[in-house]
Amino acid sequence: MTTVQRRLNDVDIETVGSLVAAIQADSDKAQTVWSSTVIWKGGFASEARSREFDPTPSDEPVSLGGEDTASNPVEQLLGALGNCLAVGYAANATVAGIELRDVRIELEGDLDLHTFLGLTDGHAGFSGIRARVYIESDADRGALAALHQKVTGTSPVGHTLTRAIPVEVTLA
Amino acid sequence: MTTVQRRLNDVDIETVGSLVAAIQADSDKAQTVWSSTVIWKGGFASEARSREFDPTPSDEPVSLGGEDTASNPVEQLLGALGNCLAVGYAANATVAGIELRDVRIELEGDLDLHTFLGLTDGHAGFSGIRARVYIESDADRGALAALHQKVTGTSPVGHTLTRAIPVEVTLA
């Protein structure tokens, strides 16, 4: 019989197990809606707020007409992907009984400014994103490779980026 | 002759004009690379850092096994989209000579947790995102509708979400 540690990687795996059981009993519990409110602060500065947490400030570099007071939206998008992958490693490592000492994820994205600046029509966004994951763990390479495959196969932000999803922006 | 105000909506439009001119003279200047580094902090907590700015903390709600100390990655993704749209409104309104008093963007995304939790294969990400934009301005409805169309047609984060882009995640 396999005994799963109650707490590994500071993850309380029983809570996740309870959610899984609740969803298995009632599939509707898996349908979630997330939200954010963004307030423009003048210039290219704004802030995004979710629930009761401190807002995430946003700005653009001086070269793009901003005042460079905060990371810009495309950097935040990369950060959201990296934070999502980090949750995935922590969750799936814990389920697999793998202890993680450190996880660091370096992300990069390529962006052609022509469309954003109105110089051409076409794709204004990232043409591609690369993430490199550095894991410190005593687990063997095979276990880490399996973990990696699991994480990339179940990442909410990763999947949102690799699939074309409907984004409906309406003017109130 | 049309005179463009040098400063409207706190946007320095001449700086943006200089970048446009530089890119028109040398197309390679439009090729940009953006980056973020994510550090896992234990449990489902992590933080994303771009350049010298304060890191963006991330966590999950208690119901998802986190300690609920910060917004989660999918909320951050919505925030990045809203912050990107805010830049778009500010930039394009300024070019069009439209003064903005306030811009607020309410974003929502639908997410089925089954795949993230390993209960089914398939799409782990948002199935759809809705953003509602509230603008206070004396500009007429037609001008705001044209502005809106311009913004959604040139949004880097918006386009990244509505197109399937390659995301390569490798284990170092």
For residue A29, the chain B residues in CB contact (below 8 A) are: 113
CB atoms B32 and A116 under 8 Å:
no
Q: Which residues in B lie closer than 8 A to residue A11 (C-beta atoms)?
A: 43-44, 65
Cβ-based neighbours of A158, under 8 Å, separated by 6 or more: A81, A84, A85, A152, B124, B125, B167, B169
Query: Using N-to-C axis directions, what is the helix angle for B73-95 and A73-95, rounded to 10°?
Result: 170
ipTM: 0.95
Instruction: Give pLDDT tens digits for A32-68.
Output: 999 999 999 999 999 999 999 999 999 999 989 999 9
Q: What is the mean pLDDT of chain A?
A: 94
Q: What are phi and psi of B171, to 5 degrees?
A: -90, 120
Q: How far A2 CA lies from chain B's nearest CA (Å)?
A: 19
Place of tokens 């603008």: B135
Percent residues over pLDDT 70 in chain A: 97
Q: Name which of A11, A37, A154 is nearest B118 (Cβ-Cβ).
A: A154
Contact A107, B35 (CB under 8 A): yes
- Model pTM score: 0.95
User: For chains A and B, what is the number of CB pairs under 8 angstroms?
Assistant: 471
Chain B environment of A6 (Cβ under 8 Å): none
Integer Cα distance of A11 and A21 in angstroms: 17
pLDDT band at A125 (very low <50, low <70, confident <90, very high): very high
Query: Which residue among B44, B92, B133 sits closest to A170, beta carbon to beta carbon?
Result: B133
Q: H or E stretch including A36? A: strand A31-40
Q: What percent of chain A has pLDDT over 90?
A: 89
Does the beta-carbon distance from B73 to A81 stay under 8 Å?
yes
User: What is the pLDDT at residue A1?
Assistant: 45
Chain B residues touching residue A13 (CB < 8 angstroms): 65
Q: Which residues of chain B have pLDDT under 70?
A: 1-6
CB A126, CB A45: distance < 8 Å: no
pLDDT at B7: 77
